[in-house]
Structure 1
Amino acid sequence: MQAPVMVLNTSTRRETGRRAQLGNIAAAKQVADIIRTTLGPRAMLKMLLDAQGGIVLTNDGNAILREIDVSHPAAKSMIELSRTQDEEVGDGTTSVIILAGEMLHLSEQFIEKHIHPTVIARGYFRALDDVVKAIDKLSFPVDVEDRTQMLNIVQTCIGTKFTNRFGPIMAELALDAVLTVRQDKGEGRQPEVDIKKYAKVEKIPGGDITDCRVLKGVMFNKDVVVPGRMARTIKNPRILLLDCPLEYKKGENQTNVEIMKEEDWATLLQMEEDWIANTVEQIAAFKPDLVITEKGCSDLACHFLTKKGISAIRRMRKTDNNRVARACGATIVHRPEEIQESDIGTGAGLFEVTKIGDEFFAFVVDCADPKACSIVLRGASKDVLNEVERNLHDAMGVARNVVLDPRLLPGGGAVEMAVSHALSESASSVSGVEQWPYKAVGEALEVIPRTLCQNCGANVIRTMTKLRSQHAAASGSGAGSDGTARDGHTMGIDGNTGEITDMKQLGVWEPYAVKVQTIKTAVESAVLLLRIDDIVSGLKNKGGPGMGAPKKSQIDDGENVDSNMALAE
């Protein structure tokens, strides 16, 4: 069975003007409709079939869109939005698609009224500036050192995920990992939190979800080179990291050696042995307990290292070597002649090789100040582990955003409703035709609380009307004297029950960076697609409709793009 392919046939002739714009809007709207039901705690799941016949069950927007194959250029652009959002802030991948699709849907009425896309873009960007100002007023600072509050924030943001049923385990793992790799750059400067490089997820099938843990150090799938003779457990090891081979460099293809006498061959072998012995002596002079190299390590070198009581690991990945360097305070050395005492890593408390299942894993743990870590995930099957990893990635993204920008906003659609009300009030100050697109941004923001209502089965019209009136009744649209959002502007939708609830009391918060990035990306992508007035295809038609070419009637009649999109197996 093949993977689900979204086939979006477009005319191979040139599409211009309003037809191209309406086609782009329809394509973007259908991409948004695919993942609309995956928003919120009561989100529906999508079943994805990959090319190998495997099945993935997930409600992660980015994971769903990553598996969908589309042919329409506007739909491809929408899918790229989700990837961009995931790389930038690691969360909000579903919200950004829904918002962008809604903004494009509302712009359709302006296109049909012959309002120029540049005018619509001006109105959208003007609204975006006011949205960011309104969000700034609603935000309030948070203490990053308060573990209880940080756990609550992370738990809230991943409350819609599969792992929510296991309690706060994922939130604790994510927070521990982020705080471990955090590196302060000094007072007044933003800390560095690179979870992609220095927080490695290791998935090991078997065990239970409760066995997952964050190591105070790193682990990697390696064993010592000579298991029987090299130590597999070393306390307080001195670690030397190399990215050069510990083997005699062989000649290139053009190398020719003429041997006239039998003694010459013995001399060549002796030279090789002397070079390796000399290299090992240079290493042994610094008394390392463990040598890790990214390249090869010959049998002869292993023999000399074993005689010196040194354990060795070879063919280490560069990324893993960098993590070990950060964890134990070592410096990766390029040549044995350049080794210095300061290059030796002494920050690790224990080196140990353990067999888990059928494979050996090396642990460099109990580090004094590890700025890198490994997260060990255990689970019943690979499918469960893959979903847990996706959830953990989102949780680490949330924790990282709060550490980098410690400001929070109320969740549950409260911010969107407050900003929507603020835009509707200030729209009267916008003159000319731009006022319509300006107000449309506020209307588009309401799609988030509306979708939350729909996904948990609430009465959408009554709930939205009541929520809108509560935000309108709130006095002002700024922050109270205590620095938190004023009463009324923290009212949002409880994603579990569909009832209007004070997010402050419910404890549902979102990072400032995620919310601002989501709205900025949605507006900018909507404007980008609106400004396209010409689609020219350089592809030639080969074959009939089954080969992906449009039917003649679709070209001549100019059917709506919606009718040309189909999910096929």
Structure 2
Amino acid sequence: MYGGGAAPILVLSQNTKRESGRKVQLENISAGKAIADVIRTCLGPQAMLKMLMDPMGGIVMTNDGNAILREITVQHPAGKSMIEIARTQDEEVGDGTTSVIVLAGEMLAVAEQFLEQQIHPTVIIRAYRQALEDAVVFLQNRMGVVLDVNDRGKLLGVIKSCVGTKFIGRWADLAASIALDAAQTVLVDEGGRREIDIKRYAKVEKVPGATIEESAVLKGVMVNKDVTHPKMRRRIENPRIVLLDCTLEYKKGESQTNIEIMKDTDFTRILELEEEQMHKICEEIIAVKPDVVFTEKGISDLAQHYLLKAGISAVRRVRKSDNNRIARACGATVVNRTDELREEDVGTKAGLFEIKKLGDEYFCFVTECKDPKACTILLRGASKDVLNETERNLQDALHVARNIMLEPKLVPGGGAVEMATAQFLTEKGKSVKGVSQWPYRAVAQALEIIPRTLIQNCGGNTIRTLTALRAKHATGGLTWGINGETGELADMKDLGVWEPLSVKLQTYKTAVETAILLLRIDDIVSGSKKKDRDGETKSAAPTEESVKE
């Protein structure tokens, strides 16, 4: 009911309140389904690409679920939480972003019928939770296959099955070996605790030009820099490297400093002091006999002159992250002040320092390192768009390599694991008492969306193929799934399509938890306040339009 010209005040009877709750739940479900429908065609090897245009006129072409959702602007709050789960999945395990959205959308869709039958959301949530716990136990105990981390062929096969669904799939062998080499390079094993920090120590450098086949993992680091002086050496074998985090420039006085010059010799003296200061700093560097100096700050002309005379090549304004990578690769320590330089701070593990020109730009290579704990992946490709998509795909491959090296357990891919879990939950659902058994079995039905989508994206006959797959699983063929290329049934063991268990567990947990979260919401209240005519501030009740936005 509305007062004339005043803020809308919602008067609710007991009956309308409940109706409003159900309405919001159904709105949330349709928002979740809408997001899932956008992404659905991006699943599997025959996935379609989406072309996204940003406000600046730039374009992105990709089939990576997370990248697509990052670019989409969504108004509906439930839609926003769906997008958030793709980001979570990407940060946690780096793969399965499309699957998690499709699955969460389907988990919400199958709950719709129960809400219409007046089953309380708490009952549905309890059944979903129980189904998730049982599915996790089933995956760990019955479906998980332990992998030998030292078997390079098997590791490459797993990474290849992940990359096969991407744009880079045509170069699957190359991409898989790059990802595996990079993950093994940055692996640190300290007292049984394994750590693989891909984000910080495996940097991807994209250089347009040449072909994708020329991409490689460097045994060391590459930075987009040139030496500061044209006469400095551009190739040094077995260099001694010093890394600094301080400026090699004369430190001027602060803004309050006043200098009074009485006679002409005073000014000359000031210049001499500057020279002496620079000479002292350079002497401290030269004392440890380095061949190359990298600094994160600037280098003055005078410092360049002294370093050149000593036969030292200098590179300035290196990023902090790059400096840390060089430190890991060549065994140097980043020093904050030149007077603290010691012999043990000098990096001696690098085999070659070299400046090369790729395309239009100069790059500095510190390579042939002995046991580098950091690396650079050099990506070549026809254009910026191709390179960007290749990098997104390669990041997924790197994460898969990391996951299987940290937790070497696999499950069959191609929808086989979903079908096996669905079969198990359907059987177990028969023993669940009361109304809960229907939502419990609905989780099993929702899991079938993955094989169904794979068949649809291949243009196969969905109903016939899915029925045949159900029959296979009913007779114990746990590893049977969908061949993503043809849309027909295939044994994943023979096809060699495997996925890391950690990715699957994360996908199921995130999808079910999100569905539960959205089913718990029974009202959306706008936080904006509106002034009443009497000056009282009242919270504006949600109108139908505000909920739909």
- 2:539 corresponding residue in structure 1: none
Deviations 1:220-272 (Å, cap 9, x if unpaired)?
00011102x21111100000001111111112222211222222222222222
Match of 2:524 in 1: 535
1:246 matches 2:251? no
Q: Unmatched 5+ residue regions in structure 2?
A: 1-7, 11-16, 531-541
Indicate if the aligned counterparts of 2:404 and 2:500 stay in contact, CA closer than 8 A.
yes
Aligned to 1:102: 106
Match of 2:41 among 32, 37, 44: 37
Query: Pick from 52, 66, 70: which aligns with 2:70?
Result: 66
Show CA shifts across 1:531-569 (max 9, x none).
Answer: 11221223589xxxxxxxxxxxx956x8995xx7xxxxx
Q: How does 1:224-303 map to 2 (within 5 A)?
A: 224-227=227-230, 229-303=231-305
SS in 2 for 1:360: strand
Q: Output the CA distance in 1 between the equivalents of 2:451 and 2:403.
A: 23
**2:430 counterpart SS class:** helix
Counterpart residue type for residue 246 of structure 1? L
Residues 1:305 and 2:294 are matched in the alignment? no
**Equivalences for residues 186-205 of structure 1 within 5 A:** 186-187=191-192, 189=193, 191-205=194-208
Return the match for 1:146 from 139, 151, 159.
151
Shift in CA distance, 249/62, structure 1 to aligned 2, threshold 3 Å:
same
CA distance in 1, matches of 2:105, 2:218: 41
Spell out the pairing of 1:157-556 with structure 2 (5 A cutoff). 157-187=162-192, 189=193, 191-227=194-230, 229-474=231-476, 488-539=477-528
Residues in 1 aligned to 2:318 and 2:62: alpha-carbon distance in whole angstroms:
33
Q: Which amino acid aligns with 1:22?
A: L
Counterpart-to-counterpart distance in 1, 2:91 and 2:137: 25
The 1-side partners of 2:344 and 2:121 are apart by 62
Return the letter of the residue paired with 1:405: E
SS at match of 1:309: coil
Distance 1:116 1:272 in 2: 79
Distance 2:216 2:243 in 1: 26
**Aligned position for 1:129:** 133
1:429 CA displacement? 3.0
Distance 2:320 2:277 in 1: 26
Q: Distance in 1 between matches of 2:55 and 2:220?
A: 37
After superposing on structure 2, the runs of 4+ consecutive aligned residues of structure 1 that deviate more than 4 Å are: 12-16, 558-561
May I ask how many residue pairs the two structures share in their alignment?
A: 522
Distance 1:238 1:57 in 2: 44
Is the 2:350–2:370 contact (alpha carbons within 8 Å) kept by the matching residues of 1?
A: yes
- In the alignment, the residues of structure 1 paired with residue 250 and residue 57 of structure 2 have an alpha-carbon distance, to the nearest angstrom, of 46
2:21 to 10, 17, 40: 17
State the Cα deviation string for residues 9-59 of structure 1 (Å, max 9, x = none).
xxx998951121111111010000001011111112212122232333221
- Measured after TM superposition, the shift of residue 369 of structure 1 is 0.7
CA distance in 2, matches of 1:534, 1:261: 81
Contact 1:13–1:537 (Cα < 8 Å) also in 2: no
The Cα of 1:131 is off from its aligned counterpart by: 0.6
Task: Provide closer, same or farther for how the CA distance between residues 283 and 13 of structure 1 changes in structure 2, counting only shifts above 3 A.
Answer: farther
CA distance in 1, matches of 2:519, 2:83: 16
Cα 1:559/1:111, change in 2 over 3 Å = farther
Any conservation in 1 of the 2:245–2:296 contact (CA below 8 Å)?
A: yes
Moved more, 425-434 or 314-323: 425-434
Alignment deviations for residues 492-520 of structure 1 (CA, whole Å, 9 cap, x no partner): 01111111111001111001111111111
> For the residues of structure 2 that align with 1:502 and 1:286, how far apart are their CA atoms?
62
SS in 2 for 1:273: helix
One-letter amino acid matched to 2:122: T
Amino acid of the structure 1 residue aligned with 2:314:
A
Q: Which moved more, 1:129-138 or 1:246-255?
A: 246-255
What secondary structure is seen at the aligned counterpart in 1 of 2:364? strand
Stretch deviating more after TM superposition (458-467 or 341-350): 458-467
Q: Distance in 1 between matches of 2:371 and 2:36?
A: 45
The alignment partner of 1:258 has SS state of coil
CA distance in 2, matches of 1:215, 1:301: 31
Check 1:540–1:67 CA distance in 2 against 1; reply closer, same or farther (3 A cut). farther
Deviations 1:96-143 (A, max 9, x none): 000000001111122222222222222111111111111012111111
Q: Secondary structure at the match of 2:232?
A: coil
| Cα contact 1:13–1:536 (8 A) shared by 2 | no
* Alignment CA distance shift 1:13-1:282 (3 Å): farther
**What is the RMSD computed on CA atoms of the aligned residues?**
1.9
Q: TM-score, structure 2 length as denominator?
A: 0.92
Whichever residue aligns with residue 298 of structure 1, its letter is S
> What's the CA shift for 1:167?
4.3
- Find the counterpart in structure 2 of residue 482 from structure 1: none
Q: Which residue of 2 aligns with 1:8?
A: none
Structure 1, unaligned runs of 5 or more: 1-11, 475-487, 542-553, 565-569
Q: What is the rounded CA distance, in whole Å, between the counterparts of 2:238 and 2:151 in structure 1?
A: 32
Of the structure 1 ranges 452-461 and 165-174, higher mean CA displacement relative to structure 2 is found in: 165-174
Decide which moves more: 335-344 or 116-125.
116-125
CA distance, structure 2, for counterparts of residue 499 and residue 37 of structure 1? 18
CA distance in 1, matches of 2:26, 2:262: 83
Identity of aligned residues (%): 62
